[in-house]
Amino acid sequence: MKKIGFIGLGIMGKPMAKNLLKAGYPMVAYDVRPEPLAEVVSAGAAAGHSARDVASRSEVIITMLPDSPDVEAAALGSGGIIEGANPGSILVDMSSIAPRVSREISARLAGKGVAMLDAPVSGGEPKAIEGTLAIMVGGPQEAFDQVKDLLGVMGASVLRVGEIGSGNTAKLANQIIVALNIAAVSEALVLATKAGVNPEAVFQAIRGGLAGSTVLEAKVPMMLAGNFKPGFRIELHIKDLVNALKTATELDVPIPLAGRVLEIMQALREEGRARDDHSGIVQFYEKLAKVEVRR
């Protein structure tokens, strides 16, 4: 088995790293926070001291970080992957970042003989824990073939969609669809509640029809319980939609609905709800309608 380096042990990264350890992959892990690092070390990983240290001790380096600047710093900054990675190693960035940044990092690493894949995921914390994420990959076919099996430990669906940057383009498309779906569900259930119809009954009535979706199944129970403990935080979805809008601007593509949902999320962030799960979008509509969607 290839030696794995894992950098970034947050809500998603920690269970992903643990699943690789359970599958028997030798691992060196690193996070700027000592608590999650200690937890992953107790599960069998060796402790890394920096991104450079992890890269120097690994054949495949996985990063799972919040945004483009974090990945740039880990990959190209002082004490970064580029300083420690060995020729022939592979960086698999599983963060959700701007496609342009993936291409820029890949070009820099190629100069040291390091291949890169951008491989963002969808499914949130529950599927990270289960090892059933959807993983969309961009980058060289040869590098993908070398890591497909280990990605399969973390995901139920692992698909290469094109060259470097295409994985994050697919993720932006995913995040637009998810955001608009949650907003549509929120509008519909607030309307039903305001009309005096039980929102749970509406959910049961429509889930088997064309309106049924993974989003509906995952997020409506949270809305009905008023449980907005994050599987995927609003602040992270804001980041993804900002990246989608930047990419759309670069390509001269209109995405007005995504822009509107971004404004809703930004309004919730201003109310102190940035760390709520993105199902918390419903709270924006509840406030305006003066009702709560609950069981």
Q: What is the CB-side half-sphere exposure of residue 234 using CA atoms within 13 A? A: 28
Active site residue 171: yes
CB–CB of 154/128 below 8 Å? yes
Q: What CA–CA distance (Å, rounded) separates 86 from 106? A: 15
Assign 3-class secondary structure to 15-67.
HHHHHHHHCCCCEEEECCCHHHHHHHHHCCCEECCCHHHHHHCCCEEEECCCC
Residue type for position 257: L
Lookup result for tokens 């519909």 = 188
Measuring CA to CA, which residue among 1, 11, 2 is closest to residue 232?
A: 11
Of the candidates 294, 295, 293, 279, which has an alpha carbon nearest to the alpha carbon of residue 191? 293
- In the set 14, 18, 127, 171, the catalytic residue is 171
Helix pair angle (256-270, 282-289), 10° resolution: 70
Residues taking part in catalysis: 171
